[in-house]
Structure 1
Amino acid sequence: MRHEDHADPVEENPWSRVFMGMRPPRTRLGQWLVGTLLVFGRPAVALADSYHWSGRLGRLEVSSQVHGFQEGAGVGGWRAEDARQFLAWARPLSDALPPGVSLQIEAREVDIVLVVKRCSRGAPTCSRPLKRTLRASIDAPWIGPTVPKDLAAFIEKALGIQLPAPAVAPGPIYTIQMLATPDRQIATEHAARLNDTLPALPASMYTSTCSPCMSREAKIVAEAGPWGDRHFVILGNFADATDAARALAVLQAAGVPDGFVRELPR
């Protein structure tokens, strides 16, 4: 992994380019070709112009986007196992950041950008932190939520610290449960109604989308028990119960009933 230190700060918001890969057809012929592909193309493969995932935890923000990714990544949104994989290395990294330092990691096709934000000592607020931007080349696009090889060493050199290993048991993840039922069809229908009517949910810890794809906020998680399987309809994933409660309050204010905060089923 080769890296360079750049003096110029990155002013662009790294979270604002989720849908850059969308290129709608410009002609009737283009629309017909897209429709033909959807009807007669390979139904087992979900084609995507771009795939994006992001995570936020404490003073750490991570964003990764891949263009032209065509293997269905991100279809349907985030998965519980991906959120846990992200938390396993993101929580130790967030906890190891020095006081007054926050870190943004933006992965692109061929490089990774680190933006280190450091508050001035004695400053009453940190509305305008000092920024340092570094870039490193990578061998392949950063697609999954696991940490790529050599990133830890790159961060250690940039911050002058030693990072702990990823956590074997990173701690609980919280979610908002909307329904529990033994009937998967009932759960599926309830999740579909929520996806059609939900207001904007405050940012989860981990998100995953593709474009143009259907990213669903409401998820169904199955849990086996002594009396058979139960199917839970859940919303969001949060590293802290307080964040989940804040999201639930937004939903309730918008008229969404019956939800409560619980640990994400394993």
Structure 2
Amino acid sequence: MQLLHTKPAPGEDCFARVGGVNYLEILKAIHRNLRPATYLEVGTFTGNTLRLSHCPTIAVDPEFRITGGLPAECQVLHLFQKTSDAFFKDHDPTAIFGAPIDLAFLDGMHRFEFLLRDLIHTEAHCRPNSVVVLHDCLPGDAHITARSMNDPRRAQSRNPDFWAGDVWKLLPILRRYRPDIRALATDAAPTGLVFLTNLNPASTVLQQHYFDIVAEWLAVDLADYGVARLIDEAEPVAARQLVSPEFCANRFWL
């Protein structure tokens, strides 16, 4: 895989190396190129990602603040104003759609244990070739990765308005526990996107090891783990490549 960065000088902020095409443009291209038949998103907020959908959609958010209208070309839309844990406990996405999930975008609570649970639940309703997209997993500096949005360290970031939380931990977790999943990381601005496919809806590995994973990673800080290390291990490709139908066809199929 092509490496799109060089190692920073000691003390250099790596943020400049995660700043390609805006993630909304990439997600728009993914919808256009893959043409999913079903779409699930966790973390809708104002609806910027929701409006990209053209197919039957489930959106989950504990407090919708949708502005700018609903997706114009989406004829079937299910809105669940509850936490993702409550949604997956109370509802069956496959039954709602009448089919597995083709494409999912997970952008809920920015703490790794929440994203891990969302992935566990989502994968169970996917096909092997479904695509799950994770947001905020490739932050460019450690200051925006505190577990609390109100952590004062954010003020030290070049981009203090961003809060990625510690969901970056999903990359090393998946590399260790689920190497069978194919992960493609991109430098989409502002905090990266990670695309997962070659899923196994029957897998219980993450669920079986959930408490061990949380115990192992809860106290790990990106400042100690190393931003450069995270990006080097992820080997991100340029986000602009995801705009290409040919590039997507070579890596995903629905």
Q: Same fold (TM over 0.5)?
A: no
TM-score interval for Structure 1 and Structure 2 normalised by the shorter chain? under 0.3
Whose helix fraction is larger, Structure 1's or Structure 2's? 2
Higher Cα radius of gyration: 1
Q: TM-score, normalised by structure 2?
A: 0.25
Whose strand fraction is larger, Structure 1's or Structure 2's? 1
